[in-house]
Amino acid sequence: MRESAQSAAARLTGRAVSGARRLSGALAEVTLDDGTVVMVKRGDGGPGATRAEAAGLRWLGAAGTVRVPAVHGCDEKWLVTDRIRAGHPNPEAAHRLGRELAALHACGAPAFGSPPPDGPVEAYIGLAPMRNVEGADWPGWYAEHRVLPYVRAAVDGGTLDAAEAVVFERVCARLPELAGPPEPPARLHGDLWNGNVLWGDDGHAWLIDPAAHGGHRETDLAMLHLFGCPHLDRVLAGYQEAAPLGEGWQSRIPVHQLFPLLVHAVLFGRGYAEQALAAARSTSRC
Protein backbone atom coordinates (compact mmCIF):
# COMPACT_ATOMS: atom_id res chain seq x y z
CA MET A 1 0.00 0.00 0.00
CA ARG A 2 1.33 3.47 -0.91
CA GLU A 3 2.19 5.62 2.09
CA SER A 4 0.22 8.85 2.48
CA ALA A 5 1.77 12.32 2.64
CA GLN A 6 0.46 12.68 6.21
CA SER A 7 2.10 9.46 7.32
CA ALA A 8 5.39 10.37 5.60
CA ALA A 9 5.40 13.81 7.26
CA ALA A 10 4.82 12.34 10.69
CA ARG A 11 7.50 9.70 10.22
CA LEU A 12 10.16 12.05 8.83
CA THR A 13 9.57 14.96 11.22
CA GLY A 14 8.71 12.99 14.35
CA ARG A 15 5.62 15.16 14.83
CA ALA A 16 1.94 14.36 14.88
CA VAL A 17 -0.14 15.63 11.97
CA SER A 18 -3.33 17.63 12.43
CA GLY A 19 -4.38 18.18 8.81
CA ALA A 20 -3.47 17.97 5.15
CA ARG A 21 -4.39 19.49 1.81
CA ARG A 22 -3.53 17.67 -1.39
CA LEU A 23 -2.16 19.97 -4.11
CA SER A 24 -1.40 17.36 -6.78
CA GLY A 25 -0.73 13.67 -7.10
CA ALA A 26 2.77 14.14 -5.73
CA LEU A 27 2.48 17.23 -3.51
CA ALA A 28 0.58 18.09 -0.33
CA GLU A 29 0.51 20.74 2.38
CA VAL A 30 0.56 19.05 5.77
CA THR A 31 -0.09 20.79 9.09
CA LEU A 32 1.91 19.50 12.05
CA ASP A 33 0.61 19.46 15.62
CA ASP A 34 2.27 22.78 16.47
CA GLY A 35 0.56 24.53 13.54
CA THR A 36 3.60 24.47 11.26
CA VAL A 37 2.66 23.85 7.65
CA VAL A 38 5.16 21.85 5.57
CA MET A 39 5.29 20.78 1.96
CA VAL A 40 5.42 17.03 1.44
CA LYS A 41 6.59 15.86 -1.96
CA ARG A 42 6.56 12.30 -3.24
CA GLY A 43 9.51 11.64 -5.51
CA ASP A 44 8.29 10.22 -8.79
CA GLY A 45 11.77 10.12 -10.32
CA GLY A 46 14.21 7.27 -9.98
CA PRO A 47 16.05 6.08 -6.87
CA GLY A 48 17.85 8.93 -5.14
CA ALA A 49 15.80 11.76 -6.65
CA THR A 50 14.47 13.06 -3.34
CA ARG A 51 17.85 12.71 -1.64
CA ALA A 52 19.48 14.61 -4.51
CA GLU A 53 16.92 17.42 -4.18
CA ALA A 54 17.38 17.58 -0.40
CA ALA A 55 21.17 17.69 -0.74
CA GLY A 56 20.84 20.47 -3.31
CA LEU A 57 18.58 22.54 -1.06
CA ARG A 58 21.00 22.17 1.83
CA TRP A 59 23.99 23.11 -0.34
CA LEU A 60 22.27 26.19 -1.68
CA GLY A 61 21.02 27.12 1.76
CA ALA A 62 24.48 26.73 3.30
CA ALA A 63 25.71 29.55 1.05
CA GLY A 64 23.56 32.01 3.00
CA THR A 65 22.68 33.90 -0.17
CA VAL A 66 19.47 32.91 -1.97
CA ARG A 67 16.48 31.82 0.06
CA VAL A 68 15.52 28.15 -0.15
CA PRO A 69 13.08 26.11 1.94
CA ALA A 70 14.57 24.27 4.90
CA VAL A 71 14.58 20.47 4.68
CA HIS A 72 12.75 18.77 7.56
CA GLY A 73 13.31 15.21 6.41
CA CYS A 74 13.71 12.95 3.41
CA ASP A 75 14.15 9.35 2.38
CA GLU A 76 14.19 7.51 -0.93
CA LYS A 77 10.57 8.39 -1.67
CA TRP A 78 9.56 11.52 0.29
CA LEU A 79 10.83 15.05 0.91
CA VAL A 80 9.50 17.38 3.60
CA THR A 81 10.37 21.09 3.44
CA ASP A 82 9.15 24.48 4.59
CA ARG A 83 6.01 25.84 2.95
CA ILE A 84 6.63 29.23 1.31
CA ARG A 85 3.66 31.57 1.61
CA ALA A 86 2.93 33.05 -1.82
CA GLY A 87 3.26 36.73 -2.59
CA HIS A 88 3.69 38.63 -5.84
CA PRO A 89 6.71 39.41 -8.04
CA ASN A 90 8.02 42.93 -7.67
CA PRO A 91 11.02 44.82 -9.07
CA GLU A 92 12.73 45.16 -5.70
CA ALA A 93 12.61 41.43 -4.98
CA ALA A 94 13.83 40.70 -8.52
CA HIS A 95 16.79 43.06 -8.16
CA ARG A 96 17.63 41.46 -4.81
CA LEU A 97 17.40 37.99 -6.38
CA GLY A 98 19.96 38.99 -9.00
CA ARG A 99 22.44 40.04 -6.33
CA GLU A 100 21.75 36.89 -4.32
CA LEU A 101 22.27 34.67 -7.36
CA ALA A 102 25.62 36.34 -8.03
CA ALA A 103 26.64 35.68 -4.42
CA LEU A 104 25.46 32.06 -4.66
CA HIS A 105 27.46 31.43 -7.82
CA ALA A 106 30.54 33.01 -6.24
CA CYS A 107 30.42 30.44 -3.43
CA GLY A 108 31.70 28.02 -6.02
CA ALA A 109 32.01 24.26 -6.31
CA PRO A 110 34.99 21.87 -6.22
CA ALA A 111 34.74 21.23 -9.98
CA PHE A 112 32.40 21.40 -12.94
CA GLY A 113 29.90 18.62 -12.37
CA SER A 114 30.47 18.34 -8.62
CA PRO A 115 27.38 17.13 -6.77
CA PRO A 116 26.34 18.78 -3.52
CA PRO A 117 27.89 17.29 -0.38
CA ASP A 118 26.12 13.98 0.29
CA GLY A 119 24.36 14.31 -3.07
CA PRO A 120 24.36 11.33 -5.43
CA VAL A 121 26.27 11.18 -8.69
CA GLU A 122 23.15 9.73 -10.32
CA ALA A 123 20.84 12.72 -9.82
CA TYR A 124 17.87 14.17 -11.69
CA ILE A 125 16.67 17.31 -13.42
CA GLY A 126 12.92 17.07 -13.21
CA LEU A 127 12.16 13.48 -14.20
CA ALA A 128 15.26 13.12 -16.38
CA PRO A 129 18.43 11.42 -15.10
CA MET A 130 21.40 13.77 -14.70
CA ARG A 131 24.90 12.54 -13.88
CA ASN A 132 27.04 14.73 -11.67
CA VAL A 133 30.47 13.67 -12.91
CA GLU A 134 33.39 16.05 -12.46
CA GLY A 135 35.34 17.55 -15.36
CA ALA A 136 38.45 19.68 -15.58
CA ASP A 137 37.12 22.34 -17.97
CA TRP A 138 33.63 23.60 -18.73
CA PRO A 139 33.49 23.10 -22.52
CA GLY A 140 34.55 19.45 -22.39
CA TRP A 141 32.42 18.67 -19.37
CA TYR A 142 29.33 20.42 -20.76
CA ALA A 143 29.59 18.52 -24.03
CA GLU A 144 30.22 15.12 -22.47
CA HIS A 145 27.85 15.22 -19.51
CA ARG A 146 25.13 17.74 -20.37
CA VAL A 147 24.60 18.02 -24.14
CA LEU A 148 25.56 14.75 -25.83
CA PRO A 149 23.84 12.31 -23.43
CA TYR A 150 20.50 13.98 -24.12
CA VAL A 151 21.16 14.14 -27.85
CA ARG A 152 21.70 10.36 -27.79
CA ALA A 153 18.58 9.84 -25.69
CA ALA A 154 16.53 11.99 -28.07
CA VAL A 155 17.80 10.00 -31.06
CA ASP A 156 17.07 6.71 -29.31
CA GLY A 157 13.56 7.95 -28.53
CA GLY A 158 12.92 9.10 -32.11
CA THR A 159 12.70 12.79 -31.19
CA LEU A 160 15.85 13.67 -33.17
CA ASP A 161 17.26 11.92 -36.22
CA ALA A 162 20.90 11.11 -36.84
CA ALA A 163 21.44 14.05 -39.19
CA GLU A 164 20.07 16.46 -36.61
CA ALA A 165 22.33 14.97 -33.95
CA VAL A 166 25.31 16.08 -36.05
CA VAL A 167 24.24 19.71 -35.54
CA PHE A 168 24.78 19.33 -31.79
CA GLU A 169 28.02 17.41 -32.24
CA ARG A 170 29.38 20.30 -34.30
CA VAL A 171 28.43 22.78 -31.59
CA CYS A 172 30.17 20.62 -28.99
CA ALA A 173 33.33 20.58 -31.10
CA ARG A 174 33.24 24.39 -31.12
CA LEU A 175 32.54 24.84 -27.41
CA PRO A 176 36.11 25.87 -26.51
CA GLU A 177 35.71 28.91 -28.77
CA LEU A 178 32.05 29.53 -27.88
CA ALA A 179 32.44 29.36 -24.10
CA GLY A 180 33.77 32.87 -23.61
CA PRO A 181 36.27 33.88 -20.94
CA PRO A 182 37.25 31.07 -18.54
CA GLU A 183 35.09 30.94 -15.42
CA PRO A 184 35.61 29.03 -12.16
CA PRO A 185 32.99 26.42 -11.24
CA ALA A 186 29.90 28.13 -9.83
CA ARG A 187 27.40 26.77 -7.33
CA LEU A 188 24.32 26.39 -9.52
CA HIS A 189 20.66 25.89 -8.78
CA GLY A 190 20.73 23.93 -12.02
CA ASP A 191 17.03 24.00 -12.97
CA LEU A 192 16.30 27.71 -12.70
CA TRP A 193 13.18 28.14 -14.77
CA ASN A 194 10.42 30.49 -13.71
CA GLY A 195 8.37 27.74 -12.06
CA ASN A 196 11.17 27.13 -9.57
CA VAL A 197 11.20 30.78 -8.44
CA LEU A 198 8.58 31.46 -5.77
CA TRP A 199 7.77 35.04 -4.87
CA GLY A 200 7.08 34.97 -1.15
CA ASP A 201 4.77 37.18 0.87
CA ASP A 202 7.89 38.29 2.77
CA GLY A 203 9.02 40.30 -0.28
CA HIS A 204 11.77 37.86 -1.24
CA ALA A 205 12.23 35.37 -4.05
CA TRP A 206 12.68 31.74 -2.96
CA LEU A 207 14.18 28.94 -5.07
CA ILE A 208 12.81 25.40 -5.05
CA ASP A 209 13.39 22.08 -6.84
CA PRO A 210 17.11 22.42 -7.60
CA ALA A 211 19.23 20.15 -9.75
CA ALA A 212 22.26 21.61 -7.99
CA HIS A 213 25.82 21.02 -9.20
CA GLY A 214 29.01 22.83 -10.07
CA GLY A 215 28.68 24.52 -13.44
CA HIS A 216 28.94 27.75 -15.42
CA ARG A 217 27.09 30.67 -13.84
CA GLU A 218 25.62 31.75 -17.18
CA THR A 219 23.63 28.49 -17.29
CA ASP A 220 21.28 29.55 -14.47
CA LEU A 221 20.70 32.92 -16.13
CA ALA A 222 20.10 31.32 -19.54
CA MET A 223 17.36 29.17 -18.03
CA LEU A 224 15.64 32.26 -16.62
CA HIS A 225 15.72 33.71 -20.16
CA LEU A 226 14.41 30.51 -21.72
CA PHE A 227 11.11 30.19 -19.91
CA GLY A 228 10.64 33.78 -18.81
CA CYS A 229 10.84 35.36 -15.40
CA PRO A 230 8.94 38.37 -14.00
CA HIS A 231 11.13 41.48 -13.91
CA LEU A 232 14.03 39.62 -15.54
CA ASP A 233 15.61 42.95 -16.43
CA ARG A 234 15.82 43.76 -12.72
CA VAL A 235 17.24 40.33 -11.90
CA LEU A 236 19.99 40.88 -14.47
CA ALA A 237 20.65 44.44 -13.28
CA GLY A 238 21.16 43.21 -9.73
CA TYR A 239 23.41 40.41 -10.93
CA GLN A 240 25.54 42.70 -13.07
CA GLU A 241 25.98 45.15 -10.20
CA ALA A 242 27.26 42.39 -7.93
CA ALA A 243 29.29 40.32 -10.41
CA PRO A 244 29.47 41.57 -14.01
CA LEU A 245 29.19 38.85 -16.63
CA GLY A 246 31.90 38.21 -19.20
CA GLU A 247 31.90 40.13 -22.45
CA GLY A 248 29.51 38.68 -25.01
CA TRP A 249 27.39 36.78 -22.50
CA GLN A 250 24.17 37.56 -24.37
CA SER A 251 25.46 35.77 -27.47
CA ARG A 252 26.18 32.66 -25.39
CA ILE A 253 22.63 32.28 -24.06
CA PRO A 254 21.67 29.72 -26.75
CA VAL A 255 24.73 27.62 -25.89
CA HIS A 256 23.63 27.36 -22.27
CA GLN A 257 20.03 26.70 -23.26
CA LEU A 258 20.95 23.55 -25.17
CA PHE A 259 20.97 21.48 -22.00
CA PRO A 260 17.47 22.34 -20.68
CA LEU A 261 15.97 22.26 -24.17
CA LEU A 262 17.38 18.80 -24.84
CA VAL A 263 16.14 17.59 -21.46
CA HIS A 264 12.67 18.85 -22.39
CA ALA A 265 12.97 17.21 -25.80
CA VAL A 266 13.67 13.86 -24.15
CA LEU A 267 10.80 14.28 -21.69
CA PHE A 268 8.19 16.11 -23.78
CA GLY A 269 8.90 15.58 -27.44
CA ARG A 270 9.52 17.14 -30.80
CA GLY A 271 8.55 20.75 -30.12
CA TYR A 272 11.44 21.17 -27.71
CA ALA A 273 13.76 19.30 -30.06
CA GLU A 274 13.04 21.91 -32.72
CA GLN A 275 13.79 24.69 -30.23
CA ALA A 276 17.06 22.97 -29.32
CA LEU A 277 17.98 22.71 -33.00
CA ALA A 278 17.25 26.41 -33.49
CA ALA A 279 19.46 27.27 -30.51
CA ALA A 280 22.26 25.05 -31.82
CA ARG A 281 22.07 26.56 -35.30
CA SER A 282 22.10 30.08 -33.86
CA THR A 283 25.56 29.45 -32.40
CA SER A 284 26.95 29.87 -35.90
CA ARG A 285 26.39 33.59 -35.30
CA CYS A 286 28.29 33.58 -31.99
CA distance 3 to 36: 21
Mean pLDDT (whole number) for 52-58: 97
Instruction: Output the pLDDT for position 46.
Output: 73
pLDDT at position 153 over 50: yes
Question: Where in the sequence numbering do the catalytic residues fall?
Answer: 191
pLDDT at position 99 over 50: yes
Instruction: Output the pLDDT for position 20.
Output: 87
pLDDT classification of 284: cutoffs 50, 70, 90: low
pLDDT at position 57 over 80: yes
CA distance 37 to 245: 39
Instruction: Output the pLDDT for position 125.
Output: 94
pLDDT at position 44 over 80: no
pLDDT at position 40 over 90: yes
Mean pLDDT (whole number) for 18-41: 91
Mean pLDDT (whole number) for 174-197: 96
pLDDT classification of 286: cutoffs 50, 70, 90: very low
Mean pLDDT (whole number) for 175-198: 96
pLDDT classification of 285: cutoffs 50, 70, 90: low
199-240 pLDDT tens trace: 999 999 999 999 999 999 999 999 999 988 999 999 999 999
Instruction: Output the pLDDT for position 1.
Output: 61
- With CA atoms as reference, report the closest residue to 36 among 91, 84, 74: 84
* Percent of the chain whose predicted confidence (pLDDT) is above 90: 91
85-97 pLDDT tens trace: 999 999 999 999 9
Instruction: Output the pLDDT for position 260.
Output: 97
Instruction: Output the pLDDT for position 66.
Output: 97
Look at the domain 85-286 and name its fold. Aminoglycoside 3'-phosphotransferase; Chain: A, domain 2 (3.90.1200)
